[in-house]
Amino acid sequence: MTEIVLFHHAQGQTDGFLTFADELRAAGHLVHTPDYYAGATFPSVEEGAAHRDEIGHPELMRRAAEGVDGVPPEVVWMGMSLGVVFAQLHAQTRPGAQGAVFLYGALPPDALGSPWPADVPAQVHGMTDDPWIDWDEEVAPFVAASGAEVFRYPGSGHLFGEVDSVDYDHEAAVLLRERVLAFAAESAPR
């Protein structure tokens, strides 16, 4: 069993997000899902991003940190889109991370003020033509610093792995889940 913290995207804890968390649980993992939107969900990424901006970065950071208070250090940090910021920050700055999985983006480590830990394996998943992912300016520097596995799926959808998303792509979602579940299984503390 791997302990996982899964941070939601800008649309909040949608049914698709919760389904993904439940699939990780069904595979035998303990999954924490901090809700820094306090139950609010949005039908589009744009509406969720407007809510994110209304809350503001400092408050979101405070809520995300509060949501993982008491979580042991030996976890796999996962984030979806907006949630990547929080997952990556914790994986970079909290000793003991077992790994990190970033769905729909990643940031250069220096954007979060610290280097990527040499012993923390990572994966990045996204669609090749996703307009919300900057593969060259954000993901490439992260991969160069971390040695992360990168999985680029054909298409332009953003939240393509979520069953209730307008971007859902069944074939890509199945492959994404297989890869994430394999990573989680390999990350279990020994």
Domain parsing of the chain, residue ranges: 3-186
Residues 100, 88 contacting (CB under 8 angstroms): yes
CA atoms of 97 and 48, how far apart (whole Å): 28
Beta bridge partners of 153: 127
Per-residue pLDDT band at 129 (split at 50, 70, 90): very high
- pLDDT > 90? residue 188: no
Q: What are phi and psi of 82, to 5 degrees?
A: -50, -40
Instruction: Collect all residues with Cβ–Cβ distance below 8 Å to 98 and sequence separation of at least 6.
Output: 2, 3, 74, 75, 76, 120, 187, 188, 189
Q: Which top CATH class is 3-186?
A: alpha beta
Query: Rounded to two decimals, what is the model's pTM?
Result: 0.96
Q: What is the pLDDT of residue 106?
A: 98
Total Cβ atoms within 10 A of residue 161: 29
Q: What is the mean pLDDT of the chain?
A: 96
CB-based contacts of 168, cutoff 8 Å, min separation 6: 16, 157, 159, 160, 161, 162
pLDDT in tens, 64-113: 999 999 999 999 999 999 999 999 999 999 999 999 999 999 999 999 99
